[in-house]
Amino acid sequence: TAEIMKDVTLGFGEALQHCREESQLSEEKMEEFFHFWREDFKFEDRELGCAIKCMSSHFNLLTDSHRMHHENTDKFIKSFPNGEVLSKQMVEMIHACELQHDATEDHCWRILRVAECFKLSCTKRGVAPTMELLMAEFIMEAD
C-alpha cells in the first residue's frame, strides 16, 4: 500500500509546477511535493493549502464548494497501479478529515488542515509511503 501511495503522490505532485504561480508557493517553501511525507514537514503556510487546492482542481477533484469530489477522486486513485486497493479508504479518510475541519471557512487554510489530518491518518494506518521509496522513484523519473 505504501507503494500505491507513492505512485499517487508522485502523480498528484506533477501538478505542483502548474500551481506554483497561482498559489504563491515559493520553491524555498516546497521544492517538490513528495516532501509532504517527511516526518519533520510543517503545515504552516497558507500558500501550501492554496497549492493543494489548485493541484486538486487541476485533476478535477474538487466540488464547487471546494470539497473533495468523491467520484472523481476515486477514479483518479484507481488510475494508478493497484489504486483500487486504496481508493475507498483514501476517500473515506479525506472525507473524515473534511468533516473535522468543516468550520474553517478559508479554503486554503481548511485544505491545509485536511491534508495534515490525511497524512496523520495514513501514518496511523501504515499506508504512508516512505521517503526512501519516494526519493528512489523521483530520481529515476528525473533521468
By beta-carbon proximity to ligand BOM, the closer residue of 100 and 142 is 100
Q: Does 56 bind ligand BOM (CB under 6 A)?
A: yes
Query: Taking CB under 6 A as the rule, does residue 115 contact ligand BOM?
Result: yes
Q: Which of 19, 25, 74, 98 binds ligand BOM (CB under 6 A)?
A: 98
Q: Does 68 bind ligand BOM (CB under 6 A)?
A: yes
Cβ nearer to ligand BOM, comparing 24 with 35: 35
Q: 129, 9 in Cβ contact below 8 A?
A: yes
Nearer to ligand BOM by C-beta: 96 or 136? 96
Cα 69 from Cα 39, distance rounded (Å):
28
* Structure letter (DSSP) for residue 31: S
Answer yes or no whether residue 121 interacts with ligand BOM by CB under 6 A.
no
Taking residue 27's Cβ as centre, other Cβ atoms within 10 Å add up to: 9
Q: Is 87 in the site for ligand BOM (CB under 6 A)?
A: no
Q: Which of 51, 37, 26 is nearest to 112 (CA)?
A: 51
Which of 141, 97, 143 shows the shortest CA–CA distance to 9? 141
State how far the Cα of 117 lies from the Cα of 121, in Å rounded to an integer: 6
Q: Cβ atoms within 10 A of the Cβ of 75, count?
A: 15
94 binds ligand BOM (CB under 6 A): yes
* Site stretch for ligand BOM (CB under 6 A), options 14-22, 78-86, 112-120, 131-139: 112-120
Binding site for ligand BOM (CB under 6 A): 8-9, 12, 36, 52, 56, 67-68, 73, 94, 98, 111, 114-115, 118
